[in-house]
Amino acid sequence: MHLSKGTAQAQESSEQRVLHSSTTLSKAYYTTGNHCYLRIHFYHHFLCRKMTNKGGHVDIVERKIRPVYEAIDNGNYKKAVQMADRLMSNKQKLPQLIQMAHIAKGVALFRSGKLSDALEEVDQVSRETITDEFIIQGLVVFYKDAKPDEIPKILEKAVAASKGLERMDFMNKLFLAYARTEHYKKQQQTAMNLYKLDSKKSTYWWAVFSNVLQANYSPDKNLSKKMFLPLAEKMVLKMIDDGGLHTEAEILLYLMILRMNGKVSEALKVVRCQVPEIEGSLLIHSDILEIELLQEANLHAELNACLKVYLRNRCDDWHNFTLYLDSLFHLIDIKWKPTDDNKDINLPDYTIHMAMEFIRSLLKDGDSTEMKSYRSPHLAKMEIKKRLKMLTQNEEAHSCVPETFNTLLKDYFERFGHKGCCFQEMSLHFDQAEDPKKLISELEETLRVDGVMSIDLLIEGKITDVKPANICNRYICVATLKYYAGLYNDLSFDEKLKVAQQLIGYHGKGLNLGKDLKSTELQYTDGFCLLGCHLLINLSNETNNGNDIWHIILILESALKASPHNPQMRIMLIVLYCKIGAFDPAHKIFNTLAIKYIQHDTLGYLMTSNAHRLGHFKSARTIYEAEEKFFLVGRRECVDQKLQAYKYGNFSKITEFIDFEKRLQNSLQHWTVKYYKFYLDVIHKSSSCEEALSFLKCAPCGDISLNENFLNQLIDNRDLKVIRNWEKLEVNQLQNEADWSKQLEAFHLKYISINLQLLGDIMEFGQIESNDSDPQSIISDLSTSLTKFIDESKQLYQSVLEHPGLKYSWKWHGPPQTRWKSIVNGGFNELLLKAASAMLHLLCPSEETKENVQIEISNICQALTDGLVQHNLCNENVKCFNGHNLEPYVLLVETVGYIVMLIAGCAKVIKSIPATKKNRKKKNGQQRQSMNLEKFKLFISSLQSVCDDVVQNLIAIKDTFLVQYFSRLRIAFNLQNEEQTLEKNDDLSDLWLKTYKTNESDMLKNVRDSYQASVQELLSVAKLKLNLIKSISL
């Protein structure tokens, strides 16, 4: 935590930056959108302009190829392909034009999602030896997204076929191509070969850094220590002997090598300018580097002394202040004492009394300067007392810091309570307070003026000499401390409700205080509303009444009108709307956040985890495509930035870009989006087996199935603490929740991959002609696939059932709950197992299974029918149409759709068994006879009846229930008594009454439209599967 100077509106400014805190994974900047296509056009336009200087025929090439790229830029891929085909059939037969036409056609095919066709088209050019610079650049533009490993192969052939300066130019490009694809050994060899030709220092440093990369990313760490790092160090020493290091980049690279090799003492000499051949003064952040090196070397005495000098100038750097305290207590533990050799140097603090003297000197220096607003010295006093208390050295703690924690915390509040960060910092030591209730009571007294709360006087206009933000922040800090201390838990339901109403009332009445604020600034009293809504949500959980969420949403919607740029209110609304199953309003609010760059990875889960499960399949696909575009463009831009770093010799940033690229590539969000979109296409869009097979051939990672090693490598980059929380948490609670959430999400990806793998196998078998394959082998392979699915599914379900996260009571402001709870509670996993088992018994019947298969079919269809009743969206026992009904209903429709596709695929396999060759007819006939076709037809007819019931149920909901229900729905304010309306609540001002009334109809309309969209899309899917099962014939 870095403590910078606070301002009166620290809370507001921190709220405005809440979303940007999610960008801490890297400082790399990415751009998304259509401009990446435009760059291709401008790039080729520029190249073609240059080409006109090399021959008259090139002007023809430019003129003819330009419209193709314009069509690509405009998204007219079909037109671009047609134009490229016409160019390839041109009578002039210009080789350059034909090659560029092939590349342009490949780009168009790739942009339209036809990767295999695009590769086949461009391979016609790349398989030749190309030395034309512009053709090579065109190939690089295509392959860097489609297949990066092909770029080095193209350039290797160009290097072999060229000479002189052209060869050096291609070798330069070849090195960058190896850097792009992370072939570190080859890039080191290429850099050395290039250095032998051009003798440039830059290429020599490329070779040095290539050895460093081999050492850093080699799986054999012993080889790194014995070969790569010594070789890199030897090369740098040669450069030092030849003339020294005279740039910061060169010095930082040398320091990197020394640190990786464990030679910290030598690195310290460089940083301290003790090596004449190296200009250590060029290092901009030498003080930070020295602190890091001393910490690595465990030189605690020197580290402590160095930090004392550092903190004299930057005493509010809390991170380094904690390092100072760590080194202090380490010196105390080892009973460190100065010797005769180090008495003349800057001595460290090696006793508590010395540390307290240092802290007092900082506080004393700050009395007459602006440092009085710095908080670290005050926090350090509490931290020292806390650590001594934990070491059971209470007497020493009392002698060094005689004040009690109650006194220290109260003093801290009086100094910094007006800052928005005060609660966060006081909570670090609040657990140490001797009497928390007494402390809270004393803090509340500081909020009174002549026995009246200062916030009341402020709202009434009786206080004008104090900034409104200061008074509001102090009151909010005390209220949140009470929340943290659990004092609200001791209140009765009515008392809690009264506190929440009072807080929300303060917010409404205090809006006049911020009437002169800009629309982009947050209202002074926004914190009151947020805390009040947190309390109301807790009350709603106590009553277990879903209707309460509606009224909380209405409060937040009204508050958002007054403070439209408050990110906390927006995100709370997103979560609550999804809680009642209304995705559309949540999606609209999410779009107003205007998330960019890495926030797609850290915050995108707010949408991707809800769109599909709430039945908004079209919106889900749009969201998934936008997320995929970020990861695609992000990877491209990350590689480009890495190559730029090579060109400018900024080696310290290259490893950051490499690590960040890997972090994006292995992101849980990345692969969740890929597989959710894949599942959506196969299950929801397929109207036939052929269409399903075309989707299944486009698996995200080439193979549909996901193995355990791949899932274990996934990295969870989600920002799960984006919603502010004031609850006191158990040790490691947040980390445990994050780990469980990631594991369950990985299980769900495995669930999707297993289901789609079975469909893929069955659809493939259905394409095999019996003339080309033995029917017995087809049925045997199909039986193997079904058996494998059953075994893998059972193993997965057992892992899920034993997982602690399945039965855990997830907080609404924590990680999003996965779909596993609804899957298991609804028995949908068991239904898929039973369907696969029934198909296996139908295709490969035995004496034992012949009699039971009809019972299995009956049980499956009965379970689906019971689910339709249980999860009926217009069940009379359910007071509110909400997500608790919508999510299992979506799963029901998806399960029915999956089983329909399973049956359709198996029916296609059965139909393919009869052969045309006479000598095989008898054998194939016997094969068909052995199957239980009558029972198979019974399964089809029973499932068709279930599909018809689903369709009719959805039509009834769409046409009657939604309209009738929302025409009479009204929102009540009191959580206990739904009869009490807003007008009877005295805690709300007239302004709030008017706002509630105007927002209620808008909110209900948005929610109704969202539900109708969900039902309509579910109906479309159900009709699609009904038509599919009707088309099955044997």
Distance CA 270, CA 258 (A): 10
User: In which element (H, E) is residue 453 found?
Assistant: strand 452-453
- pLDDT at residue 12 in the model: 38
- pLDDT at residue 983 in the model: 37
Helical H segments across 844-882, by residue range: 847-850, 853-870
- pLDDT at residue 26 in the model: 37
735 token code pair? 């980390």
160-169 long-range Cβ contacts below 8 angstroms, 24+ apart: 160/129, 161/129, 161/131, 162/131, 166/131, 167/197, 168/194, 168/197, 168/198, 169/133
When pLDDT is cut at 50, 70 and 90, the band that residue 767 belongs to is: confident
The model's pTM: 0.88
Distance CA 1012, CA 962 (A): 7
CA torsion angle for 144, 150, 154, 156 (degrees, to 10)? 110
**31 pLDDT more than 70:** no
- pLDDT at residue 53 in the model: 43
Q: What are phi and psi of 766, to 5 degrees?
A: -70, -20
**994 pLDDT more than 70:** no
Q: Give the pLDDT confidence of 340-359 residue by residue, as tens digits.
A: 766 656 789 999 999 999 99
Question: Could you please report the per-residue DSSP string of 534-588?
Answer: HHHHHHHHHHT-THHHHHHHHHHHHHHHHSTT-HHHHHHHHHHHHHTT-HHHHHH
Distance CA 184, CA 899 (A): 48
Q: What is the mean pLDDT of the chain?
A: 84
User: In which element (H, E) is residue 449 found?
Assistant: strand 448-449
**1031 pLDDT more than 60:** yes
Q: What are phi and psi of 966, to 5 degrees?
A: -75, -15
Q: Give the pLDDT confidence of 180-234 residue by residue, as tens digits.
A: 999 999 999 999 999 999 888 999 999 999 999 999 998 888 899 999 999 999 9
Q: What are phi and psi of 449, to 5 degrees?
A: -125, 110
When pLDDT is cut at 50, 70 and 90, the band that residue 772 belongs to is: low
Mean pLDDT of 855-869: 89
When pLDDT is cut at 50, 70 and 90, the band that residue 848 belongs to is: low
Q: Which of 112-116, 221-225, 282-286 has the lowest mean pLDDT?
A: 112-116
Number of H helices, E strands in the chain: 49, 2
Q: Which residue has the tokens 């948005």?
A: 1006
For 448, the 3-state DSSP assignment is: strand
- pLDDT at residue 44 in the model: 44
Q: Give the pLDDT confidence of 391-407 residue by residue, as tens digits.
A: 877 777 778 888 899 99
For 699, the 3-state DSSP assignment is: coil
When pLDDT is cut at 50, 70 and 90, the band that residue 957 belongs to is: confident
- pLDDT at residue 215 in the model: 93
- pLDDT at residue 743 in the model: 95
Q: Which of 69-78, 596-605, 911-920 has the lowest mean pLDDT?
A: 911-920
The set of residues, in sequence order, having a beta carbon less than 8 Å from that of 330 and lying 6+ positions away, is 300
- pLDDT at residue 974 in the model: 42
Angle formed at CA 235 by CA 234 and CA 236, multiple of 5 degrees: 90
Residue 728 CA: distances (Å) to CA of 29, 383, 440, 477, 831: 36, 19, 16, 15, 41
37 token code pair? 């296509």
Distance CA 679, CA 673 (A): 10
Mean pLDDT of 896-913: 88
- pLDDT at residue 720 in the model: 92
- pLDDT at residue 844 in the model: 77
User: In which element (H, E) is residue 950 found?
Assistant: helix 933-956
Residue 673 CA: distances (Å) to CA of 50, 78, 248, 745: 42, 27, 41, 11
Q: Give the pLDDT confidence of 673-727 residue by residue, as tens digits.
A: 999 999 999 999 888 888 988 888 888 877 788 888 899 999 999 999 999 989 8
Picking from 554, 504, 472, the residue whose alpha carbon sits closest to that of residue 989 is 504
**73 pLDDT more than 80:** yes
CB 37 within 8 A of CB 69: no
Q: Which of 175-184, 202-211, 361-370, 861-870 has the lowest mean pLDDT?
A: 361-370
Question: Could you please report the per-residue DSSP string of 744-774?
Answer: HHHHHHHHHHHHHHHHHHHHHHHHS-TTTS-
Share above pLDDT 90 across residues of the chain, in percent, rounded to a whole number? 49
481 token code pair? 């401390």
| Cβ count near 786 (within 10 Å) | 24
Higher-pLDDT residue of 847, 100: 100
Distance CA 586, CA 571 (A): 9
- pLDDT at residue 45 in the model: 41
Share above pLDDT 70 across residues of the chain, in percent, rounded to a whole number? 84
Distance CA 915, CA 922 (A): 9
Q: Which of 71-80, 182-191, 328-337 has the lowest mean pLDDT?
A: 71-80
Exposed/middle/buried for residue 371 (C-beta within 10 Å: 0-12, 13-18, 19+) = middle
CA 265, 268, 270, 274 dihedral sign is: negative
CA 304, 306, 310, 312 dihedral sign is: positive
Q: What are phi and psi of 308, to 5 degrees?
A: -60, -45
**6 pLDDT more than 60:** no
Longest distance between any two alpha carbons in the chain, whole Å:
107
Picking from 652, 651, 662, 655, the residue whose alpha carbon sits closest to that of residue 207 is 651
Higher-pLDDT residue of 974, 90: 90
- pLDDT at residue 966 in the model: 62
Q: Give the pLDDT confidence of 810-825 residue by residue, as tens digits.
A: 888 889 888 999 999 9
209 token code pair? 């850094």
536 token code pair? 């109301």
DSSP-derived secondary structure letter, 852: T
201 token code pair? 């220092």
**133 pLDDT more than 90:** no
Question: Could you please report the per-residue DSSP string of 91-132?
Answer: TT--HHHHHHHHHHHHHHHHHTT-HHHHHHHHHHHHTS----
For 190, the 3-state DSSP assignment is: helix
